[in-house]
Amino acid sequence: MVKKIITILAGLGIAATAFAAAPVLINGAGATFPYPIYSKWFDVYSTINPDARFNYQSIGSGGGIKQITSGTVDFGASDGPMTDQQLADAPGRLFHIPMVMGAVVVAYNVPGVEKGLQLTPEVLADIYLGKITKWNDARITSANTGLQIPDMPIIVARRSDGSGTTYIFVDYLCAVSGEWKLKVGKGTSVNWPVGLGGKGNEGVAGIVRQTPGSLGYIELSYAVKNNLAYASIQNKSGKFIEPSLESTSKAAEGVTIPSDFRVSLVNSANPEAYPISGFTWLLVYKSQADPVKGKALVDFMRWAVHDGQSYTKDLLYAPLPQEVVQMIDKKIEEIKY
C-alpha cells in the first residue's frame, strides 16, 4: 500500500512538474499591416523565452478591435486608433502600445512602367473618387513626362475588410482632399466610391499583381514581397518622396506624441517625409485578467520595443524613435497583472 501511494504521489509530482513547465499560450488578432514583423518577433522570442507562445490571427484591424473588445483574445492589433466611443464600449481600459512604424504604398501594375511613377495627392484622391479613370489622363502624364504611360483604364483596388491600412490611407486622403473628407471620410472601413475589394494586404497585393492597369494601397513589405512597383508620392513640401525606411521615420520627427499614442503621422510637414506613414499598435488592457499571461505579454512588449526593433529594417518597417520608446516604457509600467 505504501509503495502504491508513493507511486501515485510520484506520478502526481511528475504531472504537476510537466504542467508547470507547459508554455503559456497568448492569443492575438488584428492588423495585417504588421503581420510580417510580428511573425518574426514571435518566432525569435520563442527561442529567448520558451515559456511563452503566441498565436496571432491576421484578420484586419477592425477584427482585432472587435475581438479585444469582446475578450476573445489576449491582445488586439490595429493600425487605426480606436475611437473614443470604441474605447468607452470596451469592458476595461485599453492601452495603445506602438510597436513599429510602416509605410502604406500605392502599388501599381502598368505595362511599360516598371518603376518611377509619381502621383500628386490630388490625383490619388481623384483616382479613388472615380474622377480619374484612365492612366494617360493629362494630370498623371504631366507629372511623369519621362514615362511612356499607356492608354488604358485604371482598375482601383482597395480593402474589403476592416483595416488599419485603410485607416492610414484614408486619413491621408482626408488630409489632402476636402472632397474626400466631406464625401467619404476616414475609418477602418469606409463606403468606397470605386474599386475591387481584397481581403487583407495579401488580397489587395494579389489584385494588383494579377491585374494589368491596376493600382492599390498596401504596406511596403507586401509590395516588396510580391515584387510590385510602387509610386513616389508628392508630400506637403511639394517633393515626390519614394517610400523607404528613412522617409517613413521622418514622418514622426517633430510630431507631438500624446500620452495615449493615438496620433496621425500622415501628410507630415517634414520635407523628407513619406506622407502615407503611421504607427501600428497593440491593444492591451491596463488590468490583465490572467496574471501569468499578463506578465508574459508585458515581458514580450518590453523586448519588442527594445531588442525587437533590430529586426524591423530587414522586413521594411521603420524602428520606433527613441523618445517614443521611452514613453512606451512608462506606459507598460502601468499595466497591472
* In the predicted structure, residue 245 carries a pLDDT above the cut 50: yes
Cell matching residue 305: 520595443
Helical H segments across the chain, by residue range: 2-21, 35-48, 61-70, 84-89, 121-128, 138-141, 164-176, 178-183, 200-210, 220-225, 245-250, 291-305, 322-332
pLDDT for position 21: 59
* CATH architecture of structural domain 103-277: 3-Layer(aba) Sandwich (3.40)
Q: Is 241 helix (H, G, I), strand (E, B) or coil?
A: strand
Mean pLDDT to the nearest integer, 182-208: 96
Confirm if 60 and 159 have CB atoms less than 8 A apart: yes
pLDDT for position 12: 52
pTM of the predicted model as reported, rounded to 2 decimal places: 0.88
pLDDT digits (tens, 9 = 90+) for 105-122: 999 999 999 999 999 999
| Rounded distance between C-alpha atoms, residue 124 and residue 188, angstroms | 19
Q: Is 40 helix (H, G, I), strand (E, B) or coil?
A: helix
Residue 30 one-letter amino acid? G
pLDDT digits (tens, 9 = 90+) for 279-331: 999 999 999 999 999 999 999 999 999 999 999 999 999 999 999 999 999 99
Q: Cα angle vertex 103, ends 98, 106, to 5°?
A: 150
The neighbour count for residue 160, using CB atoms within 10 Å, is: 18
The mean of the pLDDT values for the chain is 93
- 19-102+279-332 domain in CATH 3.40.1110.10? no
* In the predicted structure, residue 6 carries a pLDDT above the cut 50: no
Least confident of 7-11, 155-159, 252-256, 289-293: 7-11
Instruction: Cite the residue boundaries of each domain of the chain with CATH code 3.40.190.10.
Output: 19-102+279-332, 103-277
Percent of the chain scoring above 70 in pLDDT: 94
pLDDT digits (tens, 9 = 90+) for 123-152: 999 999 999 999 999 999 999 999 999 999
